[in-house]
Structure 1
Amino acid sequence: MSDKMVTVLRRQFDPTVEMLKNLIEVCPDDFWMDPKQKYWKQIFHATTSMKFWFRQQKDEEFMIPDFGKDVIEDLDKECSDYPTKGEMTKYVEDILSVARAFFDELTDGRLLEPCVLYEEITKTDVILMQIRHVQHHIGYCNNILNTNHLETVKWL
């Protein structure tokens, strides 16, 4: 049986994460470190959301990394430090493997099953929510870059 809808969802999800990785790459180092911009925090927040929602087991431990620094993914809280671009790239890659494992378990017949966290939300909802959420933060970061006359990430 061909899982055409799972294929379509992957086809939309994969470029979304690729754009998130591209945001890290295009950001100048000094701009990345600027605490006023909170640019890195948008990426961290979006990635952490994927880590939360793509869990396979309800009792699976959910820990937000701090990279051994004073960082938190909450957009409204201040941090005195930041993860490096390399650390953030690795974090996105790690979460991408979690997302791929989530997709690998899916079939078209399982897309409407409840997600493991909340019965009223389907696995399809989880995927679409994450695509929308990550794209929101991509747009936010692109706006920051554009406002500062820097190269933006191209839409894939």
Structure 2
Amino acid sequence: MSDKMVAVLRRQFEPTLEMLKHLIEVCPDDFWNDAKQKYWKHIFHATTSMKFWFRQQKDEQFNIPDFGKDITEALDEECSDYPTKEEMTKYAEDILNVAYKFIDELTDDRLLEPCVLYEEITKTDVILMQIRHVQHHIGYCNNILNSNHLEAVKWV
């Protein structure tokens, strides 16, 4: 394999995405619906961030879904509703496919190219920023689970 650095980035990114999916799976339904916890919102926020950053074209439309409900990905804004676990799973799968496509199109020679959104940020920066950002929210959700005597998602 000639694109060794892309392979390294993928090896670090894939477990992050697996952990994000596991957060949805392990959460009890009644806990998912608890507005005070904002558990689902951290997943939605992290996933929406990937949707923003992994765009392939600068003029590509960026819409945040609301699932026909009063929700927002903004962590500091209240919502009167929430997406179901099934809706969030589907949304996360769609965005994870976008993320994989972003990485699949890279070569080691292209890693330092500017991302399409901001010239001062490279494609490598985008991947590393998303790993860090998603892991932050995974840790936050794991803390919520632990604080409520529920089992946290295992590190992979």
Provide the TM-score with structure 1 as the length reference.
Answer: 0.99
In the other structure, the counterpart of 1:25 is 25
After the TM superposition, list the runs of 4 or more consecutive aligned residues in structure 1 that deviate by more than 2 angstroms: none
Q: Distance in 2 between matches of 1:121 and 1:96?
A: 21
Q: Matches of 2:38 and 2:57 in 1, distance apart?
A: 32
Partner of 2:152: 152
Deviation at 1:122, TM superposition (A): 0.3
Two-structure CA RMSD over aligned residues (Å): 0.6
Matches within 5 A, 1:22-61: 22-61=22-61
Aligned counterpart, 1:101: 101
Q: Kindly state the Cα deviation for residue 11 of structure 1 after the two structures are TM-superposed.
A: 0.6
Counterpart check, 1:77 vs 2:77: yes
Q: 1: CA distance between counterparts of 2:137 and 2:13? A: 14
Equivalent residue runs for 1:3-22 within 5 Å:
3-22=3-22
Shift of 1:118: 0.2
Amino acid at match of 1:10: R
**Secondary structure of the equivalent of 1:76?**
coil
Deviations 1:73-125 (A, max 9, x none): 00000000000000001111000110111011100000000000000000000
Cα distance in 1 between the residues matched to 2:26 and 2:96: 19
Q: Which amino acid aligns with 2:109?
A: G
CA distance in 1, matches of 2:49, 2:4: 26
Cα separation, 2, equivalents of 1:96 and 1:3 = 21
Alignment partner, residue 118 of structure 1: 118
CA–CA distance in structure 2, aligned partners of residues 91 and 7 of structure 1: 25
Q: Give the distance between the partners of 2:121 and 2:67, measured in 1 at CA.
A: 31
> 1:15, CA displacement in angstroms?
0.7
- Structure 2: gaps spanning 5 or more residues: none
Q: In 1, distance between residues paired with 2:129 and 2:104? A: 18
User: How far apart are the structure 2 equivalents of 1:36 and 1:138?
Assistant: 17
Q: Structure 1: how far apart are the matches of 2:91 and 2:14? A: 16
SS for the counterpart of 2:21 is helix
Unaligned runs of 5+ in 1: none
Q: TM-score, normalised by structure 2?
A: 0.99
